[in-house]
Amino acid sequence: MILIVDSGSTKSDWISVDIQSHQQTKKMHTKGLNPAILTKENLFKIIQDNTELMALKSQVSHVFFYGAGCGTEKPRLLLNKVLQSIFKKAQVEVKEDTFAAVRATINHEKEAAVVCILGTGSNCSYFDGKNLFQRVASLGYTIMDDAAGNYYGKQLIRDYYFNHMPENLKSSFAQKYNVEADDIKFNLYKQPNPNAYLASFAEFMFQNKDSEYIKLLILKGLREFSKNMILQFSEEIKTVPVHFAGSIAHYSKDEILEVAKEFHFKVGNVVRRPIDRLVSYHLNQLSSWK
């Protein structure tokens, strides 16, 4: 049995695949497993708290993990060790979430494309049909992640407190969320996953998309992302599509198309959840296994 995992900072999707029948057997979920933010103890606990996963651990021969926070060596090795210690009989491969986005969005294995992630966090890479390239190193949610869920959550909270949010939306926002200063500061500074906490507020945008304020907020983030991330590949986007993966991309597709006209790039595929296409990718790979 193999396990395929697509993990953001908010949640992780796990799918088990039977090697003999080449069939998906079970879909499971855990909280996000971002090793750049969570401690080894947090990572262990999240996985071990899932009884379905623990019941399968002795049957797993391979783990293919794609995750946020796995783009640099130290956190990637940390997560690899955690997974290896739980799935003791398995070969473990940990790759950054950008590889999941590439494999889930490109139309064929050798297609060149610029591939963007807009979920809890954000990122942008160029895939030349074989290798993956990034020209801007991600420094995380505190100073980057334009147009990501945590970016929009931060903007909404700021606008609420600075009184930039329209009064009718302020009232709705306060009814939907706990906006007490002490609660917000507790979650931001004393809890282990502040980026996922911020991203939880982004749902409010897509429940109020008829508001001019919300539309402008979404466009502002996408323009920043396009300027800072997509345009790093200004030559490449003249000839290749720009694909998107993630829930923020899915719910803001109309705005992405609008911004694409302004920044002169062609929008390709927009995939909300990469996990299903990852399963197809690995099922195809299974055919070459002995």
Q: How far apart are CA 47 and CA 53, in angstroms?
A: 7
Q: Any idea what the Cα angle at residue 67 is, between residues 112 and 205, rounded to 5°? A: 85
The reported pLDDT for the residue numbered 18 is 86
The reported pLDDT for the residue numbered 285 is 75
Question: Which amino acid does the sequence have at 234?
Answer: S
Residue 32 CA, chain-centre distance (Å), reads 10
The DSSP string of the chain is -EEEEEE-SSEEEEEEEETTTTEEEEEEEEE---TTTS-HHHHHHHHHT-HHHHHHGGG--EEEEEETT-SSHHHHHHHHHHHHHHSTTSEEEEEEHHHHHHHHH-SSTT--EEEEEESSSEEEEEE-SS-EE-SS----TTT--TTSHHHHHHHHHHHHHTT-S-HHHHHHHHHHS---HHHHHHHHHSSS-HHHHHHGGGHHHHTSTTSHHHHHHHHHHHHHHHHHTGGGGTTGGGTS-EEEESHHHHHTHHHHHHHHHHHT--EEEEES-THHHHHHHHHHHHTT--
What is the pTM for the complete model shown?
A: 0.84
Q: How far apart are CA 156 and CA 174, in angstroms?
A: 11
The reported pLDDT for the residue numbered 289 is 53
Q: How far apart are CA 75 and CA 28, in angstroms?
A: 23
pLDDT < 50 stretches in the chain: 290
Beta-carbon contacts of 232 under 8 Å, excluding residues fewer than 6 positions away, are 124, 135, 136
The reported pLDDT for the residue numbered 290 is 45
Question: Which amino acid does the sequence have at 200?
Answer: S
DSSP summary character for residue 34:
-
Superfamily for domain range 2-101+274-286 = ATPase, nucleotide binding domain (3.30.420.40)
- Contact yes or no for 12/33 (Cβ under 8 A): yes
- Contact yes or no for 217/91 (Cβ under 8 A): no
- Contact yes or no for 196/202 (Cβ under 8 A): no
pLDDT tens digits, one per residue of 179-214: 999 999 999 999 988 999 999 999 999 999 999 999
The reported pLDDT for the residue numbered 159 is 98
The reported pLDDT for the residue numbered 47 is 96
Closest residue by Cα to residue 34 from 121, 142, 105, 149 = 121
End-to-end Cα spacing for the chain: 14
- Contact yes or no for 8/104 (Cβ under 8 A): no
Q: How far apart are CA 19 and CA 166, in angstroms?
A: 55
